[in-house]
Amino acid sequence: MSEKLKRLDDSRIEVPVSYLDTMKSSGIIYVSAALEENLEADAITQIANVASLPGIVGGVLAMPDVHTGYGFPIGGVAAFDLQDGVISPGGVGYDINCGVRLLGTGLMRHEMAGVMKELVGKIYTEVPSGVGSKGRIKLTVDDEKRVLRKGALWAVEEGFGEAADLERIESRGYLEGAEPMVVSKKAYERGKGQQGTLGSGNHFIEVQYVEKVYDEERASVFGLFKDQVTVMIHTGSRGFGHQVCTDFLSIIEKAYKKYGLNITDRELACVPFKSEEGQDYFAAMKAAANYAWANRQCIMHWVKNAFAQVFKVPVSSLDFNLVYDIAHNIAKVETHMVDGKPMELIVHRKGATRAYPPGHMELPEIYRSVGQPVLIPGDMGRASYVLVGTKKAMDETFGSTCHGAGRVLSRHQAIKKAKGRAIWRELEDKGIAVMSAGKKTLAEEMSEAYKDVESVVDVVERAGISTKVAKLRPLGVIKG
């Protein structure tokens, strides 16, 4: 560890304002001594760079799954004053509202014996995946505008799910203020055929089972129980969101100088939140976030159909229930306590998860007494976790926690390490059925490419910013 850094306790390291002479506030990295060896120097520099931006409030937070990203580190949280602060596409990322949805079923683990390969194959057929994959939904420009304004509500109105689903999605599955008019023609073109598709890279659909319950009360409220079969869906806004980010990075990289902003890294290009460019980006980002929520809603519909076809029963007889859906890459205006007073902030979460505590009025009534479900996907060969938000998260991290395991190998390094190995066979030897659009993806996403998710989750629990509810173990994996 750099001598400039200071360990505060067994879960946190401080990046002091003296780390870089441009810093306006400090940084806090939630990391154990064991995970510290994977802490990248470039990620620490990025934390310091973000802490140098105008209007930063309360310091920059980095979760134990932190790693180097574009401008902002992945696993980072930063909040800015609405009056003097900035908004930055690098603080959200290219895959706007990449997020996770967890679906519970009435099935038990033993009922999956002998059907997993068929089920994985059926889901793979029902949900298009892979680079540039096209879905069965063909959107006209007017259709796409409705998706961008309404998000998951559009999908429900089109028959992809129930109105009750919206209560179990962060922000009810759409952000108000999305503006289709500021979205480029190229983004529309990329988005028109990708609604209801999984994509590639680290996106996945996993059939899982509840291996362990840590908190019986909260698990019961979330509709989870031991040996229950669940489905986790991890994807985002596809090519549409990528294009929105690309477009506005170009715009903002040209605009920031006219506002007199000095940035330490061009990837940190930003503009005042209240500027024309800032508001246009925010409105386009909301549109991409809504596209992603609709996408996961549609995918869930086809996953349910795949189960019904394999088990040869109506969907209604399988007792599906949406547990929750959360965003990982997003910027939102939220009210937080700063120096004992409520303050509206633009909170950037990039590779980080909202973790609101019991009693928060933005939570649906069904979860308000216990706190917000937090979904933490692991890699395809290990486990995933369901956590719950805490008051300490609201006090220390703007109501945020980790979002996954976090990479330790680049995709190129992972492919090199996997040379000569059959990753699919290694997974099947563990009892995990797998289908992928290509062997390369399996190599890129193998377990060794990621930190141990259990270690990551242990850090945030020990720090008190979220607590464990259940552990989920994969039975089948669908990758792009």
Nearest one of 49, 50, 99 to 348, comparing CA atoms: 50
Active site residue 403: yes
Q: How far apart are the first and last CA of the chain?
A: 37
Nearest one of 285, 282, 293 to 154, comparing CA atoms: 293
Residue pLDDT, tens place only, 134-186? 678 889 999 999 999 999 999 999 999 999 999 999 999 999 999 999 999 99
The CATH architecture to which 6-479 belongs is: Alpha-Beta Complex (3.90)
| pLDDT of res. 202 | 84
What pTM, to 2 d.p., does this model score? 0.95
Q: Could you give the CA distance from residue 74 to residue 58 in angstroms, rounded to a whole number? A: 19
- Domain limits of the chain? 6-479
| pLDDT of res. 476 | 95
Look at 147-151, 349-353, 419-423 and tell me which has the smallest mean pLDDT.
Answer: 419-423
Which residue matches tokens 């965003």? 327
Selecting among 301, 328, 348, 403, the annotated active-site residue is: 403
Residue pLDDT, tens place only, 368-410? 999 999 999 987 778 999 999 999 999 999 999 999 876 666 7
| pLDDT of res. 18 | 95
| pLDDT of res. 416 | 79
Q: Count the helix, strand and coil residues of the chain and give each as a percent rounded to the nearest 5.
A: 40, 25, 35
| 124 has a pLDDT exceeding 60 | yes
From residue 224, how far is each of 62, 322, 323, 367, 474 by CA, in Å?
29, 11, 8, 13, 15
Q: Output the average pLDDT for the chain.
A: 93
Return the biggest CA–CA distance within the chain: 65
Which residue matches tokens 């140098």? 52
Q: Could you give the CA distance from residue 7 to residue 279 in angstroms, rounded to a whole number? A: 38
